[in-house]
Structure 1
Amino acid sequence: MTLHFHSMRSLRTSAQLVVSILILSCALLLTAAPAGAQPASVDPFPSPFGVGASHVRNRSVADNATWIPQMSAIGLRVFRSPQAGWGGLEPEEGKWKWDELDRQLEYLAEQKIEFGILLYGSGKWNQLDRPGTLPVNNLPAWSNYVSQVATHVKGKSRHFEIWNEPPNGTGKDQTPADYAKIVVSAYDAAKAAQPDCLVGLSAKSAHVNYLDQVIQAGAKDHFDYIVLHPYEVLNGVANNTGSEAVFMNIVPTVRRMLAVRNPAKENVPIIFTELGSDSSKGADNQAHALVKAYTMGIAQGVACIQWFEGRDGDSGPLGLIDAKGKPRPAYTAMQQLIQYLGQRPTYLGWVLLNDQHYGFVFQGSAGTVLCTWARPGKPQRVEFGREVRIANPLTTNVVEARSYELTIAPVLVLNVPESFVSQAKANRTKPFPWGGDFSDANSVSITFGETTAEKGLHTAAGADVAAAVIAYGGSARAGDVPGGNVFTVDPNFLNYTTVPLEITAVVRRNPANENSGFKLVYESKTGFKTAGGWYTVPDNKKWHTVTWKIDDAQFVNYWGFNFNLESDGNKFNKYLIQSVTVTKRTP
């Protein structure tokens, strides 16, 4: 449940997915547009702070009433979507059931909650190969469903999200072109019914490759905002692997793709209609992940984040409150963020405290706010130069101090010293660093030893790879260390743009000389694929160099990493890694 947590969660039944309540959230104007971006010309939702629900928490007003009031009480004002699946609204062809949806619309309005509409599914009368299949077999019926919903909710909602995280929930053999067909059909129908409505193009995780293909297949100009669910990227942050730079690059990656495929839509709002963290890893850890997700989301220009979910339902312990309605630390953290940042925070820029620890400065509701936390490792004391107020978002405690021992637990520094604010503003348009700026580098590498030298290339192991394996008079990492064979290049080195690459790994078998090997699996233009075939590590007598040349890489971190050395279920991962290097080849 780390790298592939959400991809596994997405295998729920389509009935669960359909209500998995994607947000509506918004097509909105970016409160914190990334450097160089122009705000999209659409009305914003009232806040980047939103929430969603699983199926069992969103079937009816009775379900909503078990948790929505607690969300409204802390200032959450945006909800992903009431229950508007095609199958429930048109159970028989031409016969429409609006009663429950109407009750939900009225209830949400009473709670002062804005919402979008998730459009998905198919009526049982519309024969499909299996539930969840995109209804390309009957586009006129799909178009009519969209038209009916858009007409029915006119004046109450104008944001329409098309399908839940495709290619999940689509037919086995359905392609990006099939999704493009239902997007175009929905766009035309919704605009005819509500000319000022906004239509969202969506994809699972941070699957920018899929969006790229969908736009090329016909969806160009038929959307007003982009929807993603980057659970896996947040997992890296929640697991304290030091991968904040990857999370900070989600929006810039989408904009690079749009600049190439659909320039007219380059600056449309980007929203996360689902994003969450499993509290079974620790309730405090979940709250830390929430603070970091909203801090870095707003900083990079995410228009709205719908936390999944409000109250535990059928998708695991992900809620701000548990299944009995008891608030978790994440609930308090959400309330504290809204209190200090306000419903419309303005991002001012980033700083590195002590030249290494993350800090993001905002103009909040009553002054400047610095949200900060330390990189993994030993706590470090940070000096502020004068007395400041420091709020713990998990407890509501506020202390006054001139310095603070920073850890991986985020804190909010209130009324930030001007020197920090000035530095943040100066950094705002600069590349977000990950152990340096590798924007102009020709190669990046990682070399393992008693200390690991990461030069623009990183593993997903984080603290799990802290101990070196010393063998044969040299240093290495064991291939079976969790995450130690999963690699991410610095996004400033290479992201989205396809250039010829050479990837080199220096390996040998372990001291027991066990049979071992792997294949290189990497992000390509069409998703993950294997480079060449299986490589068997010859022996443990010396170090062996294996090299791959790749011409179609398209690194976008949609599962939070770019390539890995895959050993078929870890059966043959009994090898040592000395170093890995990625080099840009001359075309």
Structure 2
Amino acid sequence: MKTKALIFLAFTVCCVSQPANAQSTWKEIGQLKTRDAKDIKSSTWSIGGETLDRDYTDYQSYKTYLGPLGAKRIRLQGGWSKCEKVKGVYDFAWLDAVIPDAAARGVAPWVELSYGNPIYEGGGEAKLMGHIPTSPEGLQAWDNWVRAMVIRYKNQVPQWEIWNEPDGNPKHTGRQIAEFYVRTARIVRSIQPEAKLIALGMASVTKLDFTRDFMEYLKQNNALDLIDILTYHGYSHNPDLSYPHIERLRSVVWSYKPEVVFMQGENGAPSQAKGTTVGAMTDQDWSELTQAKWDLRRMMGDHGRDIATNLFTISDIHYAPGDHMVGINSKGLLKTNPDKTIERPKMSYKAAQHVFSLFDDQIELTKNKPTTNQSTIYTFQYQHKQNKASLITLWSGEARPAETYEPKLTTVTVEGSFSNPVFVDLISGKVYEIPKNKVKVEGKNITFTDVPVPDYPVLMADKSVLLYK
């Protein structure tokens, strides 16, 4: 058997804008290569392209960053009120400039049908947390727009999400939303029978009664076949604390239909200090470093539990007066100028590239579970489908990501194929050589000692799994 080994890396944080780096005593042997979406056959990763319907971001400014990011799907919002500003007259030019372009870049659009349209009395509200259409005229107009959307884009949009965060409006009930969902889903399926239908875009992962009422209505109306995927958001300062709530949500939904696939429909962290940014989790200070750490923990926490992820979002969002909030939502991977053009990629963009490029459909989750001597360390194990070489992710998750953090020196025991293991920092993408005195082989198990685990995911992988330069 070949000798197995792992590098001992002592991390330091030199400044707030840089991730932890290996000390110079350890040899850096490469840098992870990133891949364009067109060069990745398939993966579960999606990137958020939200709020184009209200002109809070600019697709034409960020589109050149879309393919190189490596996500295989993009979430878009259809924007009824932007499409129909005069009753009965549709203008799809803005979507025609987005949907085919994204697809041509190797990024498949999935489109959310929303929001309301105030040109109709009872047509609902065209904003986040807005009310659904309720009047006969408003509902008929909604039906007509949905029908026009699906007819126009059915060959380019394989998945349709119906509304966004309906539970965020206190006037909505689960049954009311279910009735609205079913009428919409039946229109989609009547035109595009093979379409995947997505509910609910839940703002919260704890409103189980709302979800139960929604699913009960579907059951009573023989409509469970109209839900394929359930999306949820559920922001948490420590992303690792979300999963017990998610499991309870899954239990409720699966009690009605076990085949429903769960997808993280929208999650990401801010990158600015409180008082300078709006949206979820802005009651505390954030930086581009802690954003990158948080995003990595959400992505790898989801992936390790076999949950697809939509990372929120590609570009900072400029919310305008009249919506649910006003100001810059700094969860974008791309920092924007005041006119919504792109200033530069943030650290989180590079981190996401590393994940999207590596964890494609050739990297599969295994049942093996690495063990450590630290109770707050999260670990997941994967293998390459073809050569069966191993890869594990590790991070310390006892608190939300910090600006400075002393990595935990950890002992990791794993059963896997590590003929030539290396250590990878997912923020910087740096690959490090592994000294031989930090590994011990005992039968099928390999024990790595003094592994420095920071508060964001790092990798221990067989070199054959990686592409690096």
Q: TM-score, normalised by structure 2?
A: 0.69
Amino acid at match of 2:380: F
1:229-268 matches, within 5 Å, as 229-232=233-236, 235-237=237-239, 244=240, 246-260=241-255, 262=256, 265-268=257-260
Describe how 1:107-506 pairs up with structure 2 within 5 A: 107-128=101-122, 131=125, 132-138=130-136, 139-168=139-168, 170=169, 173-202=171-200, 203-209=202-208, 210-218=210-218, 220-221=223-224, 222-232=226-236, 235-237=237-239, 244=240, 246-260=241-255, 262=256, 265-280=257-272, 281-303=286-308, 305-314=309-318, 315-323=328-336, 324-343=342-361, 345-349=363-367, 350-356=369-375, 357-364=377-384, 367-376=389-398, 379-383=407-411, 388-401=421-434, 402=438, 403-415=450-462
Indicate how the Cα distance of structure 1 residues 378 and 94 shifts in structure 2: closer, same or farther if over 3 A, else same: closer
Q: Does the 8 Å CA contact 1:57/1:64 hold for their aligned counterparts?
A: no
Q: CA deviation at 1:74?
A: 2.9
> RCO greater where, 1 or 2, for CA within 8 Å and sep 6 or more?
2
User: Distance in 2 between the 1:383 and 1:109 partners?
Assistant: 44
CA–CA separation in structure 1 for the residues paired with 2:245 and 2:452 = 30
- Cα deviation for residue 58 of structure 1 reads 7.6
Query: Normalising by the residue count of structure 1, what TM-score does the alignment of the two structures yield?
Result: 0.56
Q: Which residue of 2 aligns with 1:53?
A: 49
Distance in structure 2 (CA, Å) of the matches to 1:109 and 1:267: 28
> 1:372 is paired with a residue of what secondary structure?
strand
What amino acid sits opposite 2:410 in the alignment?
V
Q: Distance in 2 between matches of 1:95 and 1:50?
A: 32
**Residue type matched to 1:51 in 2?**
I
Report the Cα distance in structure 2 between the residues aligned to 1:207 and 1:161, rounded to whole angstroms. Answer: 20
Give yes or no for contact 1:57–1:63 (8 Å, CA) kept in 2. Answer: no
1:78, distance to aligned residue in structure 2 (A)? 0.8
- Structure 2 distance, partners of 1:195, 1:409, is 42
Secondary structure, aligned partner of 1:116: strand
Structure 2, unmatched stretches of 5+, are 1-40, 273-285, 319-327, 337-341, 399-404, 439-449, 465-469
Shift of 1:114: 0.2
Q: Deviations over 1:338-363 (max 9, x none)?
A: 23323553111433322522211122
Partners of 1:342 and 1:58 lie apart in 2 by: 32
Tell me the residue number matched to 1:494: none
SS at the partner of 1:167?
A: helix
Give, in whole Å, the separation in 2 of the partners of 1:397 and 1:57: 38
Change (3 A) 1:236 1:369: same
The sequence identity of aligned pairs, in percent, is: 18
* Rounded Cα–Cα distance in structure 1 between residues aligned with 2:364 and 2:105: 26
Match in the other structure for 1:447 = none
3-state secondary structure, aligned to 2:97:
helix
Which deviates the most, 208-217 or 125-134? 125-134
Q: 1:414 to 1:58 in 2, by over 3 A?
A: farther
Residue 65 of structure 1: SS of its match in structure 2? helix
Q: CA deviation at 1:414?
A: 1.1
Residue of 52, 56, 73 corresponding to 1:78: 73
Q: Deviations over 1:483-513 (max 9, x none)?
A: xxxxxxxxxxxxxxxxxxxxxxxxxxxxxxx
Deviation at 1:292, TM superposition (A): 1.3
CA distance 1:372–1:189, change in 2 (3 Å): same
The answer to whether the 8 A contact 1:340-1:369 is kept is no
Cα separation, 2, equivalents of 1:199 and 1:412: 35
Output the aligned Cα RMSD: 2.8
Q: Deviations over 1:393-420 (max 9, x none)?
A: 1112111233422232321111299xxx
Retained in 1: the 8 A contact 2:423–2:458?
yes
Shift of 1:204: 1.1
Q: Secondary structure at the match of 1:289?
A: helix
How far apart in 2 are the matches of 1:248 and 1:124? Answer: 38
Distance 1:142 1:57 in 2: 16
Residues 296 and 456 of structure 2 are in contact (CA less than 8 Å); yes or no, is this contact kept in structure 1? Answer: no
CA-to-partner distance for each residue in 1:246-268, whole Å, 9 max, x for gaps? 433455323310233x1xx2221
Aligned length: 356
Query: Which residue does the alignment assign to 1:516?
Result: none
Match of 1:100 in 2: 94
Separation in structure 2 between the aligned mates of residue 216 and residue 115 of structure 1, nearest angstrom: 30
Specify the code of the residue in structure 2 equivalent to 1:318.
Answer: K
The amino acid that maps onto 2:49 is A
- Deviations 1:269-307 (Å, cap 9, x if unpaired)? 11122100111212222111111111111122213x111
Change (3 A) 1:300 1:251: farther
Alpha-carbon separation, structure 2, partners of 1:352 and 1:57: 46
Alpha-carbon distance between aligned partners in 1 of 2:384 and 2:166, rounded to the nearest angstrom: 36
* Structure index of larger Rg: 1
* Unaligned ranges ≥5, structure 1: 1-44, 238-243, 418-587
Quick check: 248-257 or 84-93, which moved more? 248-257
